[in-house]
A = this chain, B = another copy of it.
Amino acid sequence: MKIAVLPGDGIGTEIVAEAIRVLDALELDFEMETALVGGAAYDAHGHPLPEATLKLAKEADAVLFGAVGDWKYDKLERQFRPEQAILGLRKNLGLFANFRPAICYEQLVGASSLKPELISGLDILIIRELTGDIYFGQPRGRRTAVDGHFPGAEEAFDTMRYSRPEVERIARVAFEAARKRSKRVTSVDKANVLETFQFWKDIVTEVGKEYPDVALDHMYVDNAAMQLVKEPKKFDVVVTGNMFGDILSDEAAMLTGSIGMLPSASLNASSQGLYEPSHGSAPDIAGKGVANPLATILSAAMMLRFSLQQPEAADRIESAVKSVLASGLRTGDIWSEGTKRVGTREMGDAVVAAI
């Protein structure tokens, strides 16, 4: 088994280093190889996703990814910007199923913007389709409008699209995941306005018939954005498209108040996966040794479970993280009165010690 390690930019190197120490502590049998990605790769090789990095990622069983991006690349042409690396990896590896848990750890309830009773015990799994929709749909570009409100004017456009097999496979992923949880799926769409999402809704409904033991309901995306704020615990598994999933998974993550704790997994049809924290590269605190490595460490646990068939090792990491939280250690982002503030390295040490 081989893991491609892509630390990326900003706090990426620091947090991935801790995840690797945790993996090492488990003394499992796999190979790891590191490569540059994002702005770091652009600086060294002139491209955010160099051929060698892509090749390594494709050949590996799993990719452990830190984060990419920094303000200093903002002025580059889009194709050279760090985030193109992540889009390129998703597309080239066919990582269509993105798992974004939004979990509120009991000790961190106070970190949330929400009142404790609304957020305590939250455990949502957002499943976002990740290789289709308006993210990749062609045609797209700029042109002269031939119709619409201002024919003859300059316009820009993108294409939203989903094909039947794309919706079927992500729907199955969601129903299967729900079977292992509380057997409820909410499919989020905008069927009242978009052809694409009427189609989505129809197909999810059809696939749902194969899972009579799972309760399916449908919700418009605007309503979902509201219900997440109003009563987040009403949700269990949420399945949606790439664009809506981008927005709702971040909203849900922020509801917990502890986005520094939330891992993510992006899988393809052969369980090859990319694992990364839900948060970004945080260039403002990069290099200071204060970033929270737990989301990356928990991403490594997801990797062990989903791509490397090592569920016991995954459990060991997750238990270690819980016991470290229970012992009162906190990085700055989740610190509160009465707990002990530690840096990235000390937090990694504590997880290693707990393993």
Contacts and interface: CB of A to CB of B under 8 A. Distances in A.
Interface of A: 78, 81, 83, 87, 94, 113-115, 118, 131-132, 134-138, 140-142, 145, 147-150, 153-166, 190, 192-196, 198-200, 221-223, 225-230, 243-244, 246-251, 253-255, 257, 259
Contacts of A137: 148, 157
Contacts of A166: 149-150, 153
Contact of A222 (B148, B155, B194, B247): B247
A255 B154 CA distance: 37
Contact of A195 (B140, B161, B162, B195): B140
Complex A-B, nearest 5 residue pairs according to Cβ-Cβ distance, in ascending order: A156-B199, A155-B163, A157-B161, A226-B254, A225-B251
Given A83-B192, A113-B230, A149-B132, A251 B251 contact: yes
B148 A163 contact: yes
A162 B247 CA distance: 20
Q: How many identical subunits does the complex contain? A: 2
B134 A150 contact: no
Contact of A250 (B136, B158, B222): B222
A163 B136 CA distance: 21
Given A157-B137, A163-B155, A225 B250 contact: yes
A164 B134 CA distance: 20
B160 A159 contact: yes
Contacts of A243: 190
A199 B153 CA distance: 13
Contacts of A155: 161-164, 199
B162 A160 contact: no
Nearest to A247: B225
- Most chain B CB within 10 A, of A118, A136, A198, A251, is at A251
Contact of A196 (B145, B157, B196, B225): B157
A328 to B, nearest CB: 23
Contacts of A135: 193
B198 A156 contact: yes
A221 B195 contact: no
A148 to B, nearest CB: 6
Nearest to A227: B254
Contacts of A244: 247
Contacts of A81: 192
A253 B253 CA distance: 19
Contacts of A150: 163-166
Contact of A154 (B114, B132, B164, B248): B164
A199 B156 CA distance: 6
Given A165-B150, A198-B78, A222-B247, A160 B138 contact: no
A113 B135 CA distance: 32
